[in-house]
Amino acid sequence: MNLSSDMTPFMVVIPARLASSRLPNKPLADIAGVPMVVRVAQRAQQSQAASVIVAADHLSIVQACEAHDVVAILTRDDHPSGSDRLAETCQQLGWDDSTLVVNVQGDEPLMDPELINQVAALLDARPEASMSTAAHAIDSVAEFLNPNVVKVILDARQLAMYFSRATIPWWRDGNLQGLTALPDPPPLRHIGIYGYRAGFLKKFPKLTQAPVEITEALEQMRAMWHGYKIAVHVTGQAPGPGVDTPEDLQRVRSLWSQSKMV
């Protein structure tokens, strides 16, 4: 998707929570001498965002960001999800309901700035959608079968029909003898980046949880269950790995060193 010069300006918000069961103090984890959340912000600053803001739950994150000239605000420490933290950010900063907000996860230091642009541009171009996100084609059976890999099914208008940790679409003929290849066209892996209109973002935490959201442990199903539309940008490039575990962190450090991105 090509970005137009008259595209509506958008904001990037990076929710950052200090507590992490698998990687303590994750936002402050060092990547080439700089805290990870700052690395995420630096990548986002290479996008066309009008502003990049870290929404933190702890003063230590705010101070780390400010030490590297990254704008950060302190939000409540009891938010159940990143979207709740984004909603508070919209309220704190007094953003108009029409403001476009892209949520870049605080553990994605390899995020492609162009993908941020594309998610924002898609939402801007699709007024019927309250959210936008991204996906890419799965290229291995192991990834397709992995319940930690979220899949998405699209309709003819590139709007999401369903997200699942299961192997969707279910390839009837391919599964008769045990799955050894991928269906054609290939299934899509969901990429965890979201665009929102600020008005919807303020509403979202107040919506009742959807039964299917609880079953799948996928928060975006709440929006769909309540009838809101999610537009999906399909990118040809798989994103770099995020950081959930110490092993992930070592991998990202290695990739960062090899690429010398910042």
* Average pLDDT estimate for 126-139: 95
CA 18, 24, 26, 29 dihedral sign is: positive
Question: What is residue 23's predicted lDDT score, i.e. its pLDDT?
Answer: 80
What percent of the chain has a predicted confidence (pLDDT) above 70? 95
Summarize pLDDT for 213-242 with one digit per residue, the tens. Answer: 999 999 999 999 999 999 999 999 888 888
Measuring CA to CA, how many Å separate 118 from each of 2, 212, 227, 230, 231? 8, 28, 24, 14, 11
Question: What is residue 1's predicted lDDT score, i.e. its pLDDT?
Answer: 44
Question: What is residue 2's predicted lDDT score, i.e. its pLDDT?
Answer: 47
Query: Which structural domains are found in the chain, ordered by start?
Result: 10-133+189-208+223-259 (3.90.550.10)
Helix (H) or strand (E) holding 256: helix 246-259
Confidence tier at 262 by pLDDT (50, 70, 90)? low
CA distance linking residue 120 with residue 115, whole number of Å? 9
Give yes or no for a contact between 49 and 116, defined as CB atoms under 8 angstroms apart: yes
Residue length of the chain:
262
Residues 6+ apart with CB under 8 A from 105: 14, 15, 40, 82, 111, 192, 193, 242
DSSP letter at 177? T
Confidence tier at 197 by pLDDT (50, 70, 90)? very high
Question: What is residue 183's predicted lDDT score, i.e. its pLDDT?
Answer: 84
Label residue 244 exposed, middle or buried (CB < 10 Å: 0-12, 13-18, 19+).
middle
Helix (H) or strand (E) holding 41: helix 36-44
CA distance linking residue 81 with residue 205, whole number of Å? 9
Give yes or no for a contact between 65 and 71, defined as CB atoms under 8 angstroms apart: yes
The pTM of this model reads 0.91
CA distance linking residue 201 with residue 205, whole number of Å? 8
Question: What is residue 186's predicted lDDT score, i.e. its pLDDT?
Answer: 92
Residues 6+ apart with CB under 8 A from 39: 31, 32, 109, 256, 262
Summarize pLDDT for 34-73 with one digit per residue, the tens. Answer: 999 999 999 999 999 999 999 999 999 999 999 999 999 9
Q: How many CA atoms lie within 13 A of 53 on its CB side?
A: 19
